Amino acid sequence: MYPIVKKEKLADKIYLMDVKAPRVAQYCEPGQFVIVKMDEKGERIPLTICDYNREEGTITIVFQIVGASTERMAALEEGDVFSDFAGPLGCASELVGEELEALKKKRILFIAGGVGTAPVYPQVKWLHEHGVACDVIMGARTKDLLILEEEMRAAAANLYVTTDDGSYGFHGVGTAQLQALWDEGVRYDHCVAIGPMIMMKFVCVLTKKLGLKTIVSMNPIMVDGTGMCGACRIMVGGDVKFACVDGPEFDGHLVDFDQAMKRQAQYKTEEGRAMLKLQEGSTHHGGCGMCK
């Protein structure tokens, strides 16, 4: 069992929890994720690791209520437990594997949208702890939905906050803020964008025009998190990849976002899954048990 040692409401329908999971905390790196289950019959829920404390053996997760399972999860309190807490899963951020001196010479930018701020934070924090400066653009629809602003401000060299409705910070989306910075002569060598699929798509449209390398974290529907079910299948540079084992990070300029969003929508229905099975033939997995 994995006890909840801290619970905090960050914004409307967005919660943070610290969970005691010593083995996961010992081996995880920024960019990886876990899959949690509340009980033996519960749904498997993939969540990016927002933070970790190796000494205390805790993992920080952030989630948004989007359905029945996350509604149940939000009702859990400190002292309650998860029956399963599997991880770390997926590959760590490629920045973690680079030489520190090479990283220090780069101008690195993160663009975080909505709950995507949670998986951006551990990467920014890791860079800060290793003496690597980076800038962050973080945004939400409105001020009340912004999360982890103080934590991000402490770790980023420069933090640019945006809101779609102009209620706080820059009035506009992250791409508009990036364009404004670019127009002022600010340049970057490396960009990481994490957020809703449509947001990452348009970040990549802009950064491709600017000639700015961009990494995205693909978090479509996941079921088993080990590459067996094929739920998170995407096309990257014309090749089939699975976000849970090959990613979740990929070169954003090679990701077929239109196909990914269409597949994500189809996968939610039985008829859509049957059509995908027909279209994808031998490359379509069936380990999730959803395809009849």
pLDDT of 288 reads: 47
3-state helix, strand, coil in the chain (%, to 5): 35, 30, 35
Region 103-126: what's the mean pLDDT? Answer: 94
pLDDT of 70 reads: 86
* Greater pLDDT, 233 or 278: 233
Distance CA 290, CA 33 (A): 23
Distance CA 32, CA 247 (A): 9
* Greater pLDDT, 126 or 247: 126
Are 125 and 143 in contact by the 8 Å Cβ rule? The answer is: no
DSSP strand E in the chain: where? Answer: 2-11, 14-20, 33-37, 45-53, 58-64, 81-82, 84-89, 108-113, 134-140, 158-163, 170-171, 190-194, 213-217, 233-236, 239-242, 249-251
- Lowest mean per-residue pLDDT among 156-170, 174-188, 197-211, 236-250: 236-250
Are 191 and 110 in contact by the 8 Å Cβ rule? The answer is: yes
What is the tens place of the pLDDT at every residue in 176-186? 999 999 999 99
Region 85-109: what's the mean pLDDT? Answer: 91
Are 25 and 7 in contact by the 8 Å Cβ rule? The answer is: no
Q: How many C-beta atoms surround the C-beta of residue 170 within 10 A?
A: 17
pLDDT of 92 reads: 92
Ordered domains of the chain (ranges, CATH): 2-89 (2.40.30.10), 94-217 (3.40.50.80), 219-292 (no CATH)
What is the tens place of the pLDDT at every residue in 20-60? 999 999 999 999 999 998 888 778 888 889 999 999 999 99
- The model's pTM is 0.84
Distances (CA, A) of 185 to 124, 178, 180: 23, 11, 9
**Which of the four pLDDT bands, split at 50, 70 and 90, describes residue 284?**
low
